[in-house]
Every structure is written in structure tokens, then in C-alpha cells.
């Protein structure tokens, strides 16, 4: 009889653990991206596992904290380090992070904290080729619009971030004067034929040091509008930079158009070894 009770107890524990086993619905990288509040890649620098105590219920799974050194951000806060929470048990879909490894993280915000799980789409960066293709090239570039760099620099008189479209000479002259107000004498504006072209520009405003840059990577025509995709680069914590304040910007010319313009900006953090 005692042996039968022990077997029954064992079966109960196995059943309870099975009932709590993680089960995820299949989802595409696009679906994971859409449902996440933050998407980034980064290296795990610290994993803080909660201390287990006998007071916790048998099937209660506390949260562990994982600190990341961020490499690239596609969605959410642009920080050099981010803390993400996950369950301490894979039975409740907790993700098993390893210090020193790099991951692509899809995280949701809950109670002002970022959380992730086995069902979020998070994975080792070395296993994220399909996700990275989606993130870097979200659509076929058959609708790419040709453009030419007009000017790119790290210093200007514009201390606030800007995204601008200039379609006429008078507006261009005024913008140029403000852009080069720190230069004495102010250089003559670059020639732009506004009967055929217009100017599109992005700038970061004041940055505390060197090592920052911004670049318009591509321009797409989508849903009857021009989509400007720009990338901002920030220096990592080990990068040696000048201590001078900078104001990076990038100006390009593109064929004249009356279409509305949408600006997208992605942030990359440069890790210097």
C-alpha cells in the first residue's frame, strides 16, 4: 500500500510539471516584431538568478534579471545597456541566457519592465539569420528611389535634431545659413536645381562627443509616400572619441516630388574592443 501511494505521488508531481510545461504558438519573425515593445541585439554581461527559498510554492517560478550590452536597436528604447526579466524556469517559458553570449531579443513591457520568454522569438544571434534578414531588409527594394549625397559632416550651427525636406531655393538659402552659422565667413550654398530636385536632410543636433554619425541609407516609395530610412551610430563605452560637442548631419538630393515624406531612424551602437 505504501508503495502504491509513493507511485501515485510521483505521478501527481509529473502531471503537475507537465501541466506547467511551456507551450508556444508558432509565429513568424514579422509577428514577433509586431507584438514586441523592444527588439534589439546584445551580449549578456550579467545574469542575476533569484535565491530559492522553501517558502515559495512548489510550482512558483521567480524572475531572473539579465543585463545586456546593446549592439543594435530596431524597436524601443535606445540605450547602451538594458535589463530584461525572464522566468527562472523553462517550464514557465523562461529563457536560459548565458553570460558572454549574444542574442536577438524580442521583449514586451510589463509593469515598466522588459520581459521575454521562450515564446517571444528571442534566440541566439548566431541562429537569427531569418530574423535579421527581416529586420535589415523588411521589403524587396524594387521601389528604391535614387539619391545623391549633397553634404555630410559632424559640425553645424543646428543644435536641435532635424528632419527636413526643402523644395525651393529660398528655403534652401535660409536653411544653409543656419546650418553654417558657426562658419565665418558663411560659405556659399551648394547648387541645387530645384526645378528637378529637392533636398532631404537628417541631423542629430548636439551630441556630447565625437563618434556619433547619421546617414540616409535608402529612400523607398511606398503607399504613395517617400520613406526615408536613416541610421544613427553611437559610440560604445570602450570607444575613444574626441570630447568636443558635435552635430552630425546628412543631406541628399532626390528627384523633385510632392509626395508626403516619412522618416524612419534606426540606432546602432558601435562596440570598440
What is the reported pLDDT for 232? 94
* Residue 27: pLDDT band with limits 50, 70, 90: confident
Question: HSE on the CB side for 138, CA within 13 Å?
Answer: 13
Q: Quote the CA–CA distance of 143 and 132 in Å, as a whole number.
A: 21
pLDDT tens, 166-205? 999 999 999 999 999 999 999 999 999 999 999 999 999 9
Q: Answer yes or no: are the C-beta atoms of 73 and 63 closer than 8 Å.
A: no
Residue 15 has pLDDT above 80, yes or no: no
Q: Quote the CA–CA distance of 38 and 122 in Å, as a whole number.
A: 11
**End-to-end alpha carbon distance in the chain:** 66
Domains in the chain, CATH or no CATH each: 2-136 (2.40.50.120), 141-270 (no CATH)
Nearest to 219 by CA among 211, 210, 227: 227
What values do phi and psi take at 126, rounded to 5?
A: -70, -15
Q: How many CB atoms lie within 10 A of CB 71?
A: 19
Question: HSE on the CB side for 48, CA within 13 Å?
Answer: 8
Q: H-type helices in the chain, by residue range?
A: 2-19, 29-35, 129-136, 169-179
Nearest to 21 by CA among 68, 78, 89, 73: 89
Host H or E run for residue 201: strand 197-203
What is the reported pLDDT for 77? 77
pLDDT tens, 113-170? 899 999 999 999 999 998 988 887 665 455 889 999 999 999 999 999 999 999 999 9
pLDDT tens, 98-122? 999 999 999 998 778 899 999 999 9
Q: Is the dihedral of CA 73, 75, 77, 83 positive or negative?
A: negative
What is the reported pLDDT for 8? 42
What is the reported pLDDT for 23? 83
Q: How many CB atoms lie within 10 A of CB 93?
A: 19
Cis before 185 (ω within 30): yes
Q: How far is CA 111 from CA 46, 137, 154, 235, in A?
A: 22, 32, 39, 30
Give the total residue count for the chain. 273
Q: How far is CA 268 from CA 5, 56, 63, 232, in A?
A: 60, 41, 29, 6
Q: Quote the CA–CA distance of 273 and 261 in Å, as a whole number.
A: 38
Q: Quote the CA–CA distance of 114 and 83 in Å, as a whole number.
A: 7
Amino acid at each position: 500500500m505504501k508503495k502504491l501511494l509513493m507511485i501515485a505521488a510521483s505521478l501527481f508531481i509529473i502531471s503537475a510539471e507537465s501541466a506547467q510545461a511551456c507551450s508556444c504558438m508558432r509565429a513568424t519573425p514579422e509577428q514577433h516584431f509586431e507584438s514586441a515593445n523592444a527588439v534589439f541585439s546584445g551580449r549578456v554581461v550579467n545574469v542575476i538568478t533569484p535565491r530559492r527559498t522553501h517558502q515559495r510554492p512548489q510550482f512558483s517560478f521567480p524572475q531572473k534579471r539579465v543585463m545586456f550590452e546593446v549592439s543594435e536597436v530596431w524597436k524601443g528604447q535606445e540605450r547602451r545597456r538594458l535589463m530584461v526579466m525572464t522566468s527562472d524556469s523553462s517550464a514557465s517559458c523562461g529563457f536560459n541566457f548565458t553570460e558572454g553570449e549574444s542574442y536577438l531579443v524580442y521583449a514586451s513591457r510589463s509593469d515598466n519592465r522588459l520581459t521575454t520568454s521562450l515564446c517571444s522569438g528571442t534566440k541566439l544571434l548566431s541562429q537569427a539569420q531569418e530574423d535579421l534578414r527581416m529586420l535589415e531588409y523588411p521589403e524587396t527594394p524594387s521601389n528604391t528611389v535614387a539619391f545623391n549625397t549633397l553634404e555630410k559632416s559632424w559640425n553645424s550651427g543646428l543644435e536641435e535634431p532635424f528632419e527636413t525636406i526643402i523644395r525651393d531655393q529660398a528655403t534652401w538659402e535660409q536653411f544653409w545659413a543656419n546650418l553654417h552659422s558657426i562658419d565665418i565667413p558663411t560659405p556659399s550654398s551648394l547648387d541645387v536645381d530645384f526645378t528637378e530636385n529637392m533636398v532631404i536632410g537628417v541631423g542629430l543636433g548636439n551630441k556630447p562627443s565625437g563618434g556619433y554619425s547619421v546617414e540616409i541609407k535608402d529612400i523607398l516609395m511606398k503607399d504613395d509616400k517617400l520613406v526615408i530610412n536613416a541610421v544613427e551610430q553611437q559610440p560604445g563605452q570602450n570607444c575613444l572619441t574626441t570630447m568636443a560637442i558635435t552635430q552630425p548631419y546628412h543631406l541628399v538630393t532626390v528627384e523633385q516630388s510632392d509626395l508626403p515624406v516619412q522618416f524612419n531612424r534606426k540606432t546602432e551602437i558601435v562596440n570598440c574592443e
